[in-house]
Structure 1
Amino acid sequence: MSCFEIIHQNSPARTGVLKIHSGKIKTPFFMPVATKGAVKNILHKELTKMDFECVISNAFINYLKPGLEIIENAGGLHKFMSWDKAIFTDSGGFQLILDHFNPKVTNKGVYLTNPFDKSRELISPEKSIEIQNKLGSDVAMVLDHQPLFGKKRSDYLDSTIRTIEWAKRCKAAHKNKNQLLFGIAQGGNHADLRQKCALALTKIGFDGVALGGFGIGEAQSDMYRIIRAVKKVLPKNNPTYVMGIGSPLEILGAISNGADCFDSAYPTRMARHGKIFTSNGNLEISKAVNKKNLAPLDKECDCFVCKEYSRSYLHHLYKTYEQNAHILLSYHNIYFIQNLIKNIRTSIEEGEFTKFKKSFESKYK
């Protein structure tokens, strides 16, 4: 029985529900990134007020610190974090492209450097699943082999084959019946490799399929092309998760090609760099033009930051390195994304998605 139900379809864009052990998540949805069990500069209660139903946390990082023993003693990741909504956990595959983890990929798994004590850790498919089973997340991800952007086709072929083999081992090792397990289709910008991987994952039998390797340098047009290619070979009722994208236009474009969920640290990271989402496009709060501007960040936004604070004040906080600047700007960016998702859902339900997309894109410059 599928864990995903389509409610409304408006061209490839669709709304639905992802059924997890503890309830349902409305799709499409965006997951803020809580790598260490917290979203940077955003409290859990604020996420709840914004109607976020899910976050994603990093299984490998939580395994290293605070460690499985502490999290298990607390009753699992939900209770440890004091978060009663859904949690996805990433397997650690993304660390394969981060230099400070000094990754070495073998058929056994990936050797990574523990950033806290500099020891070497082997994260095998079995180990990754064991960690996620013990964390007790609602949705676990297989360990995949994600190569750096811009590699040769032969490198992407190797990673596709390895990802499929690791997926088989992850499936065999998965024992938590209260936890969904998603496969991850790799293959870079090569549509045939992505389809090969997606078909293999479907045959193995996962609750959903994610597309990894985005948000690291590819062109938007290539990403949309790959989403369309993979959707052609997936069962219609398979939830499609595009990993690592969080800009307003990318989310809108991915949904228009049939994607159902997303995660990214992009909104909060951009806020810390002073780049703010508005209805009229990105705003750089550090620019001198904002020094005396008493307008809100976005006149169309009803978040408390836009209701209470001016660009001038936020510019001042940012330029004087006040931590409150990061807190307030991060709140706004996350709120903006969630509000966009809500409006997208409504437009799909009302059969007006194409009109909404065109209107949003015409203003977001």
Structure 2
Amino acid sequence: MTSSFSFQIQAQCDRTHARAACFTTPHGPVETPRFMPVGTLANVKTLTPDQVRATAAQMILANTYHLHLQPGEEIVAAAGGLHRFMDWQGPILTDSGGFQVFSLSEMRVISDQGVTFRSPRDGQTIELTPERSIEIQNALAADVIMAFDECPSYPATREEVAQAVKRTTRWLERCAKAHKRSDQALFGIVQGGVYSDLRSLSAQELVTFDLPGYAIGGVSVGEPPELIEPIVRAVTPLLPEHKPRYLMGVGTYREMVQAVAAGVDLFDCVIPTRLARHGSALVQGERWNLKNAKFREDFTALDSTCPCMTCTRFSRAYLSHLLRSRELLGFTLLSIHNITELVRFTTRMRASIFAGRFLEDFLQGDSC
């Protein structure tokens, strides 16, 4: 790990692999386990930076692919990097753009060199290679940057996934050579689809690069939830214990609990803001559609146990009114609450690990 970064395990669960730790970055610490909100285009949708900070989020994400298309990394760099551009002084992670590019199945061509695709904005032909992804991320200047990987869709044949694993390893080598900044930590991404032997192979190959951290990718690309847990349980112990582990694209309660039990530290997902834009709230493990008729005359708080501005100042009836009227404030208030809920959930897991009660509090006596 570079001198600007450190990872200290502070407490561990005796009967699982769960751990509480502190990941220190140039822009501050991240206390794990921790949920990270997604700010794809250098903003968490509908929220100001102050509103995001009020959720107790410590680290947020932005996306290389989207920021390359608009406004362009040169503009972000001229502004002084992402932190100044979006006025977020906490840690930032940028995804490599790999997932977004590979999702453009009808618009891209993959080769060993990289991926060529047509911009969905203007039709311009763009080539994204491992070197170009790192160059863009170096310009964006996030604290943590992700290696350019091949993320196969689900379902995919074993041959297709095996090819993606090979490319991911070769591309990581090129990413590591292209990476020029010591104040940015480069994380590798384990691929392998639902094939346990390919997952193990990918993890073992990536660990040889001795990177500051590692991610598990390709586990939220359409496969059923029951296949995610065994992948995470098998892969996580293969990653270095003394470095942060990041499960990409996962933000549901059960999946986060199982992943923390396996030794995962960081999570991200678009769930809280996406649900908010559809009128749904996360309330103590349940999803509530606030547009339902039963909330129209319900003047109680959304969640009386939640300290967020939405729950302490506004009623369910008011939220229902805003959402039925498609007022933007409704999306903002639900986003504030939903992010707060997921951050609180991960911080409760952290507190439970310190208290030695993680198994009892979150797994109800089931071993992991």
SS class of match (2:72): helix
Alignment match of 1:131 (pick from 136, 143, 151) = 136
Match of 2:194 in 1: 189
Q: Name the SS for the 1:116 alignment partner.
A: coil
Question: Which stretch shows the higher mean deviation, 101-110 or 236-245?
Answer: 101-110
Q: Distance in 1 between matches of 2:88 and 2:214?
A: 25
The structure-2 alpha-carbon separation of the partners of 1:298 and 1:71, relative to structure 1 and needing over 3 Å to count, comes to same
| Matches of 2:250 and 2:106, distance apart in 1 | 22
CA distance in 1, matches of 2:354, 2:101: 39
Q: Is the 8 A contact 1:28 1:345 kept in 2?
A: yes
Preserved contact between residue 279 and residue 300 of structure 1 (Cα < 8 Å): no
Q: Distance in 1 between matches of 2:34 and 2:273?
A: 17
Moved more, 73-82 or 216-225: 216-225
**RMSD (Å), alpha carbons:** 1.8
- Asked whether the equivalents of residues 151 and 217 of structure 2 are also in contact (C-alpha less than 8 Å), the reply is yes
Q: Distance in 2 between matches of 1:257 and 1:65?
A: 37
Shift of residue 249, structure 1, vs aligned partner = 2.6
1: CA distance between counterparts of 2:213 and 2:162? 22
Matched, 1:201 2:206: yes
Q: Does structure 1 retain, via aligned residues, the 8 Å contact 2:300–2:316?
A: yes
Q: Report Cα offsets for 1:201-252 as digits up to 9, x if no partner.
A: 1112211110111222223332121111112322221311000012223222
Question: Structure 2: which 5+ runs fail to align?
Answer: none
Letter in structure 1 aligned against 2:109 = K
- Once the 2 structures are TM-superposed, how far is the Cα of residue 51 of structure 1 from its aligned partner? 2.3
Is residue 210 from structure 1 mapped to residue 215 from structure 2 by the alignment?
yes
Determine whether 1:149 maps to 2:158: no
1:217 counterpart letter in structure 2:
G
Code of the aligned partner of 1:331: I
Unaligned residue ranges in structure 1 (runs of 5+): none
Corresponding residue SS for 1:99: coil
The residue type paired with residue 49 of structure 1 is A
Q: Distance in 2 between matches of 1:107 and 1:208?
A: 25
Of 12, 19, 23, 1:9 maps to 12
Q: Which amino acid aligns with 1:53?
A: Q
- 1:280 CA displacement: 5.3
Q: In the TM superposition, what whole-angstrom CA distance separates every residue of 1:163-195 from its partner, at most 9, and x where no partner exists?
A: 111111101111111110000011111111111
Q: Do the aligned partners of 1:181 and 1:207 also contact (CA within 8 Å) in 2?
A: yes
Tell me how far apart the structure 1 counterparts of residues 253 and 279 of structure 2 sit (CA, whole Å).
16
Q: TM-score when scaled to structure 1? A: 0.94
Question: SS state of the match for residue 227, structure 1?
Answer: helix
Given candidates 93, 101, 104, the residue that maps to 1:88 is 93
Instruction: Note if 1:330 corresponds to 2:338.
Output: no
Q: 1:98 to 1:14 in 2, by over 3 A?
A: same
Please tell me whether the aligned partners of residues 191 and 217 of structure 2 are also in contact (alpha carbons under 8 angstroms). yes
2:56 paired with 1:39: no
2:61 pairs, out of 35, 56, 65, with: 56
Using CA pairs under 8 Å that are at least 6 residues apart, name the structure with larger relative contact order, 1 or 2: 2
Residues in 1 aligned to 2:288 and 2:264: alpha-carbon distance in whole angstroms: 27
Residues 77-111 of structure 1 deviation map (CA, whole Å, 9 limit, x = unaligned) = 11111111101011101113423882221111011
Aligned to 1:20: 25
TM-score when normalising by structure 2: 0.93
- Alignment partner for residue 164 of structure 2, among 159, 171, 185? 159
Choose the corresponding residue for 1:223, options 205, 220, 228. 228
Q: Answer whether contact 2:55 2:336 (CA < 8 A) is retained.
A: no
Query: How much does 1:114 deviate?
Result: 1.8
- CA gap 1:317/1:210 in 2 versus in 1, 3 angstroms: same
Is residue 296 of structure 2 the alignment partner of residue 291 of structure 1? yes
How much has 1:309 moved relative to structure 2? Answer: 1.8
Cross-structure match for 2:174: 169
Letter in 2 for 1:47: V
Residues of 1 paired with 2:62 and 2:240: CA distance?
A: 27
Matched, 1:265 2:234: no
8 A contact 1:4–1:237 mirrored in 2: yes
Deviating above 4 A after TM superposition, structure 1's stretches of 4 or more consecutive aligned residues are: none
Q: Give the SS at the match of 2:112.
A: coil
Alignment of 1:105-120 (within 5 A): 105-120=110-125
Moved more, 101-110 or 324-333: 101-110
AA aligned to 1:30 is F
| Identity value in percent | 37
Q: Distance in 1 between matches of 2:311 and 2:208?
A: 49
For residues 249 and 318 of structure 1, the distance between their equivalents in structure 2, rounded to whole angstroms, comes to 28
Deviation at 1:127, TM superposition (A): 0.5
